[in-house]
Structure 1
Amino acid sequence: MHDEDFCCAVCLDFFIEPCIIECGHSFCHLCIASHLNINEKCPLCRAHTGKPIRNRQLESLTMSYISSRDLSNTYYERMKSNKKKLLLQNKALLIIWSELNNKPGQSTELCNLVKNVQDQELKSEILWQVKQQVGVGLEHIGDLETETVTIRLKTSRQ
C-alpha cells in the first residue's frame, strides 16, 4: 500500500471522512461538499455526482493505514480542523441563502449579511462563500471586494 491509495484527489492529503459519489470516485467530505457548492460534477471525471455517501470502509482502511504509519496525531488535528471548516461553511451558506430567500426577487447589501455576525471567522467565510457563489447561484452589482456590493439570487435566462 502507498500513501496515494488513501489520498483525496482534491486536497491531496489523507482522506478525512471519505465520501463516494455516483461515478465511483472518493473524496474527503469537506472537499466534495465545498466542490458541490459551486459545481455538481465530479472534480475528476466531470460525471454527475449525485449525493455523496459516506464511505465507511475506506474510512476504516485509511484510519488503519494512518495508525500503522504513526501519523494519528496530525491526522486527528486535521480532522478536527475539517469539521470546524465544514461547520463554518454550512453556517455561512445558511446565512446567505436564508437572507436571500426571505426577499424573493429582491437584492440585499452584502453588509446586511454580516452586520449581526460577531464571529470574525464566520464573517470572513460569508464573504468567501458569496464570492464563490457569484455566477453559480448569485449575481452581484458593484465591487465584490467591498461590503457595499448588492447581491441577489441568480435569475435564469432562457
Structure 2
Amino acid sequence: MHDEDFCCAVCLDFFIEPCIIKCGHSFCHLCIESHLNITEKCPLCRAFPGNPIKNRQLESLTMSYISFRNLSTSYYERMKSNRKKNVQDEELKSEIRSQVRQQVGIGLEHIGDLEGDTVTIRLKSSSSK
C-alpha cells in the first residue's frame, strides 16, 4: 500500500470524511462538495457524479493506515480542522470575486487567481468627473 491509495485527488492529502460518487471515485467530503459547487462533473473522469455517499469503510482504512504509519489521531484532527478552514477561505474568496464582479460589472479574469492575502481595487466614483 502507498500513501496515494488513501489520498484525495482534489487536495492530494489523506482522505478526511471520504465520499464515493456514482462513477466510483472517492474524495474528501469537503473537497467534492466544494468542487461540485463549481462544476457538476467528477474531477477525475468528468462523469456526472450524482450525490456523494459517505464511505465509512475507506475512512476506517485511512485512519488505520495513518495509525500504522505512526501518525497520531491529533494529526488527523488537525488536518481535518485545517482542511475545513482552507475550504472556507476558498469559498470566501470565491464569494468576494463574485461580489466584486457584480459591483464593478466587469470580468476579472485578467487578474487571475487571488493567491495573495490582499487585493486592492480602486474605483472612481461617478461624482468625481
Q: State the TM-score, normalizing by the size of structure 1.
A: 0.58
1:128 aligns with 2:94: yes
Q: Give the drift of 1:126.
A: 3.1
Task: Number of aligned residue pairs: give it.
Answer: 108
1:79 aligns with 2:62: no
Query: Cα 1:57–1:23, aligned 2, differ >3 Å: closer, same or farther?
Result: same
Structure 1: gaps (5+ residues): 90-123, 149-158
Query: Cα 1:32–1:142, aligned 2, differ >3 Å: closer, same or farther?
Result: same
Partner in structure 1 of residue 13 of structure 2: 13
Q: Tell me whether 77-86 or 49-58 shows the greater mean CA deviation.
A: 77-86
Query: Cα 1:66–1:48, aligned 2, differ >3 Å: closer, same or farther?
Result: same
Runs (4+) of structure 1 moved beyond 6 Å? none
**Aligned-partner Cα distance in 2 for 1:57–1:27:** 13
**Aligned-partner Cα distance in 2 for 1:147–1:59:** 47
The amino acid that maps onto 2:7 is C
The RMSD of aligned alpha carbons is 2.6
The amino acid that maps onto 1:34 is S
Q: Which has the higher strand share?
A: 1
Q: Percent identity?
A: 63
The amino acid that maps onto 1:33 is E
**Aligned-partner Cα distance in 2 for 1:42–1:25:** 8
**Aligned-partner Cα distance in 2 for 1:130–1:26:** 29
SS in 1 for 2:19: strand
SS in 1 for 2:51: coil
Q: Give the drift of 1:85.
A: 4.4
The amino acid that maps onto 2:92 is I
SS in 1 for 2:82: helix
The amino acid that maps onto 1:75 is Y
Structure 2: gaps (5+ residues): 109-118, 124-129
